[in-house]
Amino acid sequence: MTKYTPYEILFGRKANIPGNLQRRPVPLYNCDDLIHGIKKELQECHEIARSNLIQAKQKRTENQRDKVHMPVFREGDAVLLKNEKAGKLDPLWLGPYKILEVDRKGSNAVIELIKKKRQKIHLNWLKTYLSTVSGGERT
C-alpha cells in the first residue's frame, strides 16, 4: 500500500543487505548534510505513504458504500421485526409493527410493540411488511 518497506519508513533509507555491503560506500563529508538528507527523505517518505494510505482508504469506503443497502422507512410504515431468538420452527420475522418515528441519521426507528410499548430498533433488524389482500379477484 505504501510502496515502501517498513525499514525504509522507520529509518529513512533502504536496509543494508549483503549484496549492498559489497559495493564501495559513497563518502559523506558533512554530518549536518547527512542529518538534513535523512530528515528530508523521511518527510517525503511519510508524505507519500500517507497519501497512498488515504487513497486506499477512499477506495475501500467507495467499494463498501456500493455494497451496503440501507432500507428507507418513513413514519407510519408497516414493518416486520427480525426474531433474534428464533428456534428451528419459530418464524424468522415478527409483526407487523408500525413505525412511530425515524432518527435524523436514518439508522434507527421507534416502533410500537404490543400494548403501546415503544422500542428503538436499528433499521437492519426491520423489513417492509407487504400485506396480501384477500378476496380481490383479477380479471
Query: Residue 101, Cβ neighbours under 10 Å: how many?
Result: 13
Task: Measure the CA–CA gap between 86 and 92, rounded to whole angstroms.
Answer: 6
Assign a CATH topology to domain 78-128.
SH3 type barrels. (2.30.30)
Among the listed residues 46, 98, 39, 94, the one whose alpha carbon sits nearest the alpha carbon of residue 74: 98
What pLDDT digit, counting tens, does each position of 69-101 carry? Answer: 777 888 989 999 999 998 899 999 998 999 999
Q: Are 123 and 70 in contact, with CB atoms under 8 Å apart?
A: yes
Which pLDDT does position 139 carry in this prediction? 43
State the DSSP code for 23: S
What pLDDT digit, counting tens, does each position of 33-77 carry? Answer: 778 888 888 899 999 999 999 999 999 988 888 887 777 888 989
Provide mean pLDDT across the span 21-28: 66
